[in-house]
Structure 1
């Protein structure tokens, strides 16, 4: 009996701990610790001074945004392994069109209107020379409307009559008006200040006036022919441009140049109807819009 009791006690002592170690169903709570980190950016001024371009320092204030370059500063920024690579746009090519008013002192007595109206179109190329300064070379063609018309077949005019060439050939006046084409070449110096670009310049132009005469053919005065002016005149200009968009500019310009006489030429004749010692002045005011086609 003592042996049985001993075996039972040992068996009990073995089973009790095993029963205490059995898994019990329970609720498990899991807590997640959330840590919020605030990103602090150090504001650092990045000074960029590419050759030929003057601009305000760029400031990087947000790592997720790209600094905005002023629209009138043509700068290309490329991210490389060595840092920021700055490429300045040194040259620009574009076109311009506009309208204007013209006043010619030589035509005051004949003109019914004090000013001629017209329009123009042209192309230009511009390059930076020093900081905010740049040079522009432009070529324009102008069309000017007529302010007076002289026609000897309709009414008497102050130019009626016979004229003679250097070799004494007779010419009979027929028609003349101041409607004409004008070709101009300009060199301008610009200064860029914010969106404004004041400028001064020099110009050379040619006015193509036409006068019609009856000319001799086989010694008989029976052929109509045109005589044209081809003199080169020189003058100056000044004005201002305003940048309304990155590639569009408005311009207001004043031009003035001197004309020494008005000499009319023909391939078959040499003839000067206004051969005097007078110097005439022509003045123009032009309003135009310019577009930058490309830059490099």
Structure 2
């Protein structure tokens, strides 16, 4: 019995350290460091400096040149920030100009008219460097001469007759007029400069005044107006002085073909057919971008 007790005692001494080592091996997971990654949502653009936060840098889609940063818009999403380039932009423009016309070359030595204009435009980017624009303008041109039969003799003085033989007596005429124009332009972006070429359609509303018959008596003043549609081209350049503010210099040229002065009550044309008048103008303007999308 004593030997058995001794054997069991030594057997216990041997197995006990082994069992202790196995227990220590099982508890090694207590010291394992567990890292939990969570999703971060950006609700507002905050000026913060992240500390011990690891994330994948955002990828910018549709990058644009530095000079076009005003066309960038930010969109918050659950996956991060998406930067998009604005495709459309609209604004307003105003300016002053000079017009050279051979309309009244026999009546005035001063052939350059001064005037001013205002308009609106919408633009769309079609590539990294190119964009197109559609604009609508209204021009007001001052007079360079004044023909008034009541004050002095003019080369238009006298009686005229309609096709149904009604008499008309010339009264007044000058080249002060309104002009309405639509333009389509193609722009090229180069640093702060935007050279362009364009196609234009316009209408000049000239007026001539006659004494017309009323109840067979020549005692009523009435206007005869031009309403022809003219076609031409334009060249120019814009310079960006601020992100939304541009200066523009533009040259336009077109021809007024078969111009006539009409009145809805009288079938009459003081000018001969197949006449053509050339007009050229240069203008300096300032353009402001209101918004875009």
| TM-score > 0.5, shorter chain as reference | yes
1:129 aligns with 2:126: yes
Q: Counterpart in 1 of 2:289?
A: 292
Q: Distance in 1 between matches of 2:253 and 2:283?
A: 11
Alignment of 1:81-92 (within 5 A): 82-92=79-89
User: Matched residues in 2 for 1:260 and 1:173: separation?
Assistant: 23
Match of 1:183 in 2: 180
Which structure features the higher share of strand residues?
1
User: If the length of structure 2 is used for normalisation, what is the TM-score?
Assistant: 0.77
Higher percent of residues as helix: 2
1:175–1:212: 8 Å Cα contact kept in structure 2?
yes
**Which residue, 153, 164, 176 being the options, matches 1:167?**
164
Unaligned stretches of 5+ residues in structure 1: 1-38, 40-44, 57-68
Question: Any conservation in 2 of the 1:55–1:73 contact (CA below 8 Å)?
Answer: no
Secondary structure of the residue aligned to 1:154 is coil
Structure 2 spans left out of the alignment, 5+ residues: 1-50, 52-56
Determine which structure has more spread, i.e. the larger CA radius of gyration: 1
**Could you tell me whether the CA contact under 8 Å between 2:183 and 2:198 is conserved in 1?**
yes
Quote how far apart the aligned CAs of 1:212 are. 0.4
Task: Name the counterpart of 2:117.
Answer: 120
Q: Determine the structure 2 residue equivalent to 1:42.
A: none
Quote the Cα distance in structure 2 between the aligned partners of 1:49 and 1:255.
39
Pairing 1:140–2:137 present: yes
Paired with 2:191 and 2:70, the residues of 1 have a C-alpha distance of: 10
Q: How does 1:24-103 map to 2 (within 5 A)?
A: 48=60, 50=62, 55-56=64-65, 70=67, 72-78=69-75, 80=77, 82-103=79-100
Q: 1:108 to 1:197 in 2, by over 3 A?
A: same
- C-alpha distance in structure 1 between counterparts of 2:245 and 2:284, whole Å: 14
State the aligned residue count. Answer: 239
Do the aligned partners of 2:130 and 2:188 also contact (CA within 8 Å) in 1?
yes
Q: CA deviation at 1:75?
A: 1.0
TM-score (norm 1): 0.76
* RMSD over equivalenced CA pairs, Å: 2.1
Measured after TM superposition, the shift of residue 47 of structure 1 is: 7.4
